[in-house]
Amino acid sequence: MLSEKDIEGVWRLKAHFYLEDDGSTSEGPLGDRADGLLIYHADGYMAASLMRTEPPTGQSDSPQEAYLGSVDDYLGYSGRWHIRDDDLVVHQVAIGSHSRVVNTEQVREARMHKGVLRLQRRLGGPHAYVVMDWRRV
C-alpha cells in the first residue's frame, strides 16, 4: 500500500524503458540515457520533466550534422496529484509541453521497492508498458 507521504519529494529518473508481458525490455521513447525530475509536493501539486540526452539511434551527432532535437525529445507537465486505490498515482495535468496531455488524467501504476519508485503505464500499441524508475534526490 502506497501513501502520499511515501512519494512526496523530488525524484530523479533512473531508468526509462518499454516492458513486455514476457518480462523482456527495450529502449524507451527517450532513449537509454533519458533524464528527468519528478516533484510531488505535500500540497497536492506535481511537476514532471523528462528529456532525451542523446540523439535517437541512427541520427548523427557529429558537429557537422548536429542533431537539433525535436518536440518529442522533451515531455513536461504539471498539475495536481493524488493516490487512488493504494497503487495508482493520478496526475491531473493543468499545463504541459504537449497539448494532447493538457486537461487529462495521467494514471500510473506505482510501487516502491528498495528506495526506487516505479511508475508504469499500460500501452495499447506495440509495447505492453512504458516504465519509469525514479530514485529520491
The CATH class, in words, for 4-55+64-136 is mainly beta
Domain boundaries, the chain: 4-55+64-136
What is d(CA 131, CA 126) in angstroms, rounded to the nearest whole number? 14
In whole angstroms, give the CA distance from residue 85 to residue 68.
42
Report pLDDT for 54: 86
Tens-digit pLDDT profile for residues 96-116: 999 999 999 999 999 999 999
Q: Which residues contact 29 (CB under 8 A, 6 or more apart)?
A: 16, 18, 72, 130
CA gap 84, 39 in Å, rounded:
18
The pTM of this model reads: 0.88
Mean pLDDT of 53-65: 65
